[in-house]
Amino acid sequence: MTWHNSLQWLQALVAFDTTSRNSNLALIHHVQGALDGLGVQAELFHSPDGAKANLFATLPAQDGGMQGGVVLSGHTDVVPVDGQPWSSDPFTLTQRGDRLYGRGSCDMKGFIAVALALVPELLALPRRQPLHLALSYDEEVGCMGAPVMIDALVRRGARFDGCVVGEPTSMQVVVAHKGINVYRCRVHGRAAHSSLTPRGSNAIEHAARLICHIRDLAEACAANGPYDECFDVPFTTLTTNEIRGGIAVNTIPDLCEFSYEFRNLPGMSPQRIQAQIDRYVREQLLPRMRREHEGARIDIEPVAAAPALEAAEDAAITQLVRALAADPATRKVAYGTEGGLFQQAGIPTVVCGPGSIEQAHKPDEYVELAQLQACEHFLRRLAQSLQGDGI
């Protein structure tokens, strides 16, 4: 019965187009209504504009206790399908063989579907500790939604013993990932006709100097470390991935905008990395620009940030999830999750969920039936472990 419900839930969740540019409220209200029908009250934490919401719900312990226990975390937004060659409607769950195709089936509505399908069974399970569901918005655009929920819970004194983030890991245990830091830079020069070059200040050319400096920092990290060989890319990376500037081939541009990101190893301060960029701007680039134009300036603003995760091996949640997944391997990944946000709030966290990250964000995204079944078995055993005095 539960397995059939997992597929029904996944079908329902995929049908909601929760691409990050859209609202997720229809999906959230659907889940809230279903939980309410089971007697579980779900609290919503809305985005500042009210267009999106996180959902947090607690399946209390048998004595009604709401503190402690384990959080099951998942994001409800998905990446766009624009321009991708899908073989079927990306927002209609489609089974072909042992695979279920649809946007978000792998990343990460499969995990959410299994967790929701198990709620009736878990409510009937005599647990001495509660189990919590945390569904977020805007993870795919920089983990923008989860902090709204986590901060509110922390302020009210909520306490949790651990968190499992159900990102696709093929049901293997991930104990660490890099931090993600995204910045937007606007270089302001002065426009002029290209035949009168000395009267202008070329924003594109000065932006190029800063971009090359960022590349130099990236090469220094690759050459000198620090390193962690458990990662597929064992050092901190920096890249510039978007740029816009100029209006005509014969006009000195007065504006150039670009975005850059860096992915720092756990334990490496992202503030120190950004400080090196700021220092180059302040001490070298701006003085050079202002010799051409006194009003030149460079504006750098943070766009998104997700802290790195590094789970403690002796943490109870790490040991429990390793035991349930029968996975002793040390596995660290370059992609980010909301796990670092929970850890930053003092909640021990690991990552483990159905599906392969290799399928995430691609056309014809899919999750294997066997992965959902393994997730159901894992979550059921996790809930049963809460029958004791502590995880």
Q: Is residue 246 part of a domain?
A: yes
Judge whether residue 66 has pLDDT over 80.
Answer: yes
13 and 159 assigned to the same domain: yes
- Residue 1's pLDDT is what? 43
Domain boundary among 306, 333, 365: 306
Whether 390 is in a domain gets the answer no
- The string of pLDDT tens digits covering residues 343-364 is 999 999 999 999 999 999 999 9
pLDDT band at 53 (very low <50, low <70, confident <90, very high): very high
pLDDT tens figures, 333-344:
989 999 999 999
**Tokens 């720092």 label which residue?**
264
Are 39 and 120 within one domain? Answer: yes
Q: State the pLDDT at residue 387.
A: 82
Element (H, E) at 341: helix 339-344
The CB-based long-range contact list for 372-375 (8 Å cut-off, 24+ gap) reads: 372/6, 372/7, 372/10, 372/100, 372/110, 372/113, 372/114, 373/3, 374/171, 375/110, 375/111, 375/114, 375/166, 375/171
Q: 66: cis peptide before it, omega within 30°?
A: no
Place of tokens 């005509």: 248
Beta bridge partners of 184: 259, 301
What's the sign of the alpha-carbon dihedral 251, 257, 262, 268?
positive
pLDDT tops 70 at residue 389: no
How does pLDDT run across 179-226, given as a tens digit for each residue? 999 999 999 999 999 999 999 999 999 999 999 999 999 999 999 999
Q: In this predicted structure, what is the pLDDT of residue 243? A: 98
Residue 390 has a pLDDT of 62
Residue 141 pLDDT > 80 = yes
Residues 323, 302 share a domain? no
**Residue 54 covered by a domain:** yes
Which of 261, 280, 306 finishes a domain?
Answer: 306
**Domain range spanning residue 269?**
179-306
Domain count, the chain: 2
End-to-end CA distance of the chain: 28
Give phi and psi for 6, each to the nearest 5: -60, -45
- Residue 391, in any domain of the structure: no
Q: Is the domain of 24 the same as that of 133? A: yes
Residues 148 and 293 in one domain: no
Q: Domain check: are 354 and 335 in the same one?
A: yes
DSSP 238-270: EEEEEEEE-S-TTEE-SEEEEEEEEEEPTTS-H
**Nearest-CA neighbor of 142 among 346, 341, 362?**
341
Is the link from the previous residue into 363 a cis peptide, with omega within 30 of 0?
A: no
- Do 161 and 210 have their domain in common? no
Q: Are the C-beta atoms of 162 and 383 separated by less than 8 Å?
A: no
Is the torsion defined by CA of 126, 127, 132, 133 positive or negative? Answer: negative
Query: What positions carry a catalytic annotation?
Result: 77, 139
Percent of the chain at pLDDT exceeding 70 = 98
pLDDT band of residue 126 (cuts 50, 70, 90) is confident
**325 in any annotated domain:** yes
| pLDDT mean across residues, the chain | 95
Short-list 254, 260, 253, 294, CA closest to 277: 260
pLDDT of residue 375: 97
In a domain, 360, yes or no: yes
Any long-range contacts for 233-239 (C-beta under 8 Å, 24+ apart)? 233/334, 235/265, 236/178, 236/262, 236/263, 236/264, 236/265, 236/268, 236/273, 237/262, 237/263, 237/334, 238/214, 238/262, 238/273, 239/214
Q: Residue 233's domain is classified under what CATH number?
A: 3.30.70.360
Question: Is 158 a member of any domain?
Answer: yes
Q: 243 and 268, same structural domain? A: yes
Domain boundary pick from 257, 285, 306: 306
Q: Determine how many CB atoms are found less than 10 A away from the CB of residue 363.
A: 13
**In a shared domain, residues 171 and 317:** yes
Q: Which of 2-16, 25-39, 59-73, 364-378 is the least confident region?
A: 2-16
**CATH code of the domain containing 93:** 3.40.630.10
Are residues 154 and 35 part of one domain?
A: yes
| pLDDT tens sequence across 86-112 | 999 999 999 999 999 999 999 999 999
372 and 234, same structural domain?
no
Same domain membership, residue 169 and residue 312? yes
Within a domain: residue 106? yes
Residue 368 burial (10 A CB sphere; 0-12, 13-18, 19+): buried
Looking at residue 63, its pLDDT comes to 86
- DSSP code for 279: H
Q: What pLDDT was estimated at residue 165?
A: 98
